C-alpha cells in the first residue's frame, strides 16, 4: 500500500511566505507557555531566516498533496523544521546539531508529521557530521516536552529565568538561609 501522507522535503524559495506564516503562528502559540518572542513583530527577521535556510538546506517542510482543495496538483504545507550544525569558537568532544524550530499545523497534529520532520532533520544533521542534537522546549509546554522525550531527548541543560520588576523581585523573603524556598510547590 502506498503512503499517501505528507512528504518531508527541503524547503524552496516558494515556501518562504507559508513557512514564515507558520513560524508566526508557532511564536504566537508559545506565548501561552511564557515565551517572550513577539510573533508578528519578528515577521521580517523570520522571513529572512526562512529564505536563507531554504538556500542552505537547513529547512525541511512537510507537504500534503492529498489535502482538501489540492485536486489541481498543488501541495499544502502542514509543517516545517529548521536545523543547523552548531558553530562556535569552543573546542568540543562532539559535533552538535540544533533543531531551532519544529511546527505542525494544529489540525494535523497526532498524525506522525512532527516525528517525520524531526527524524528527517536528525538524518540531515547526521549526514553533516553531527554526533548529537540539541533543541529547546518551553518548561510549561508539557505536550512538546513529552513529544521530545518520546523521541529520545533527555534534559541536558536547564535554563533558569527571573522576571525583574519594580517591586519586591530583588529579595527572597520566603527562603531560608540555605536558599530553599519553602513556598515553592510543583506547580511553579
Other beta carbons less than 10 A from residue 133's beta carbon: 19
Give dist(CA 74, CA 57) in Å, integer.
Answer: 22
pLDDT band at 26 (very low <50, low <70, confident <90, very high): very high
In 60-112, which residue ranges form alpha helices assigned H by DSSP?
Answer: none
Q: pLDDT tens digits, residue range 134-186?
A: 999 999 999 999 999 999 999 998 989 899 987 654 544 443 343 444 433 33
- Which residue in 54, 44, 42 sits closest to 14, CA to CA? 54
Q: Are 60 and 9 in contact (CB under 8 A)?
A: yes
Note the pTM of the prediction, 2 decimals: 0.80
Of 79, 50, 59, 54, nearest in space to 67 by CA: 79
pLDDT digit string, tens, across residues 77-135: 999 999 999 988 888 889 999 999 999 999 999 999 999 999 999 999 999 999 999 99
Q: Is the pLDDT of residue 69 over 60?
A: no
Look up residue 74 and give its three cell numbers: 498543488
Amino acid at each position: 500500500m502506498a503512503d499517501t501522507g505528507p512528504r518531508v522535503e527541503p524547503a524552496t524559495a516558494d515556501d518562504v511566505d507559508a513557512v514564515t506564516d507558520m513560524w508566526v503562528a508557532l511564536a504566537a502559540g508559545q506565548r501561552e507557555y511564557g515565551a517572550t518572542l513577539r510573533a508578528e513583530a519578528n515577521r521580517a527577521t523570520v522571513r529572512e531566516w526562512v529564505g536563507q535556510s531554504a538556500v542552505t538546506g537547513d529547512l525541511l517542510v512537510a507537504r500534503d498533496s492529498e489535502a482538501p482543495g489540492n485536486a489541481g496538483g498543488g501541495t499544502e504545507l502542514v509543517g516545517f523544521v529548521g536545523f543547523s550544525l552548531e558553530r562556535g569558537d569552543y573546542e568540543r568532544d562532539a559535533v552538535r546539531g540544533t533543531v531551532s524550530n519544529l511546527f505542525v499545523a494544529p489540525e494535523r497534529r497526532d498524525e506522525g508529521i512532527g516525528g517525520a520532520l524531526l527524524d528527517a532533520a536528525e538524518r540531515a544533521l547526521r549526514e553533516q557530521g553531527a554526533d548529537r542534537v540539541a533543541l529547546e522546549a518551553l518548561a510549561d509546554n508539557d505536550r512538546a516536552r513529552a513529544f521530545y522525550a518520546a523521541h529520545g531527548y533527555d534534559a541536558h541543560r536547564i535554563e533558569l529565568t527571573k522576571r525583574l520588576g519594580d517591586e519586591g523581585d530583588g529579595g527572597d523573603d520566603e527562603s531560608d538561609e540555605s536558599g530553599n524556598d519553602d513556598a515553592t510547590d510543583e506547580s511553579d
